[in-house]
Amino acid sequence: SPRTVLISGCSSGIGLELAVQLAHDPRQCYQVVATMRDLGKKEALEASAGSALGKTLTVAQLDVCNDDSVAQCLSHIPGGDVDVLVNNAGVGLVGPLEGLSITTMQNVFDTNFFGAIRLVKAVLPSMKKRRRGHIVVVSSVMGLQGVMFNDVYAASKFALEGFFESLAIQLLQFNIFVSLVEPGPVITEFEGKLLAQISTSEFPGADPDTLAFFRDLYLPASAELFRSVGQSPQDVAKVIVKVIGATRPPLRRQTNARYAPLTVLRAVDPSGGLYVRMAHRLLFRWPGLLSLGLRCLAGGCFPKRVWPG
């Protein structure tokens, strides 16, 4: 029988694409419950789902920050039995720390971290009882290494990495797998939403030097990064479909081979110092070299696959 897959954050981006790809699985292996916080935004998903709508894909309301919404959503799933949970919902936050309120930062953790945990707590008892299940988490390369001015967002993804690596050990005993998927930059509404936040934000409390580094160094470098190695949500979804279909799902899986040279520095020097010094130099001393390097990555100057699988 088909596996029930519950995905959070399906009104756009990676969640939408993943829901559609799974629903169109040629062997109809999946019954997809594509959820979103605001059902008023379901049009794009329904249009992309096409003939799968109402058959292998149903749309449901779910706010990962709300206990009642989670309980209500699961009450519509027969037995509340979810076979595959995909924690995809997430929000970004960039900018100088001094200009961000603690409430704004807590909101990022409420969605990205506690939102995922709220869902896991809700589906785990049934998975444990049935001795089967797969929990997939859309993390980020920023769950593996920090990026300037993304301090809080990266922290929320690092938190997920630590939490789910810990949980994975226990869950193996219940035949439940955990997979952390780590995309690099993906061209979705995510970046646009961030840039919109920035344009209306004054970052009160940030000093002029820091603000200048943010606007004149970070923002152009980030835009260049998206332009050069940005992936489509379709490509990211394809990787997640493979992870979900694997008989022995990996604990970690990056999605973007062109981004890999940027995560390799961390592996070369486990102290992390080399990565921090190189990132600092590239941003503050040699921004020209950084753009050249990114263009080189975009042109495929580096080997395509540098990690197994």
Binding residues for substrate: 140
Q: Which of 186, 257, 290, 294 binds ligand NAD (CB under 6 A)?
A: 186
Residue closer to ligand NAD by CB (options 126, 197) is: 197
Minimal distance, residue 158 CB to ligand NAD, in Å = 12
Which residue, 127, 123, 161, 164, is CA-closest to 142? Answer: 161
Q: Which of residues 5-44 bind ligand NAD (CB under 6 A)?
A: 8-9, 11-15, 36-37
Report, in Å, the least distance between residue 27 CB and ligand NAD.
26
Task: Give least dist CB 298 to ligand NAD, A.
Answer: 16
- CA distance linking residue 258 with residue 302, whole number of Å: 8
- Contact region with ligand NAD (CB under 6 A), list: 61-69, 172-180, 217-225, 256-264: 61-69
Candidate ranges 43-51, 83-91, 117-125, 207-215; the one touching ligand NAD (CB under 6 A) = 83-91
- List Cβ neighbours of 252 (8 Å cut-off, separation of 6 or more): 179, 180, 182
Q: How far apart are CA 174 and CA 159, in angstroms?
A: 23
**CA separation for the pair 93, 152 (Å, rounded):** 7
From 153, 218, 259, 275, the catalytic residue: 153
CB burial class (10 A; 0-12, 13-18, 19+) of residue 163?
A: middle
Listed in sequence order, the residues at least 6 apart from 276 whose beta carbon sits closer than 8 Å to its beta carbon are 146
Smaller CB distance to ligand NAD: residue 9 or 146?
A: 9
DSSP 8-state symbol, 56: T
Q: Are 45 and 60 in contact (CB under 8 A)?
A: no
Q: Which of residues 103-122 bind ligand NAD (CB under 6 A)?
A: 111, 115
Out of 5, 34, 73, 89, point to the residue binding ligand NAD (CB under 6 A): 89
Q: Nearest CA to 87 among 62, 69, 107, 104?
A: 62
Q: Does 218 participate in catalysis according to the annotation?
A: no
Could you say whether residue 185 binds ligand NAD (CB under 6 A)?
yes
**How many residues can be counted in the chain?**
309
* Residue of the chain from 24, 57, 60, 63 that contacts ligand NAD (CB under 6 A): 63
The rounded distance, in Å, linking the Cα atoms of 235 and 290 is: 25
Dist CA 135 CA 221 (whole Å): 34
Full 3-state SS string of 240-295: HHHHHHCCCCCCEEECCCCCHHHHHHHHHCCCCHHHHHHHHHHHHHCHHHHHHHHH
Q: How far is the CB of 207 from ligand NAD (least distance, A)?
A: 28
Query: Annotated binding residues for NADP(+), as ranges?
Result: 9-37, 63, 157
Q: With respect to ligand NAD, which residue has the nearer C-beta, 44 or 292?
A: 44
Residue numbers in the known binding site are: 9-37, 63, 140, 157
Kindly indicate which of the ranges 50-58, 185-193, 284-292, 293-301 contains the residues binding ligand NAD, using the contact rule CB under 6 A. 185-193
Stretch that binds ligand NAD, among 62-70, 119-127, 207-215, 268-276 (CB under 6 A): 62-70
CA 289 – CA 151 distance, rounded (Å): 24
Interacting residue ranges for ligand NAD, rule: CB under 6 A: 8-9, 11-15, 36-37, 63-65, 88-91, 111, 115, 138, 140, 183, 185-186, 188-190, 193, 233
| Active-site amino acid positions | 153
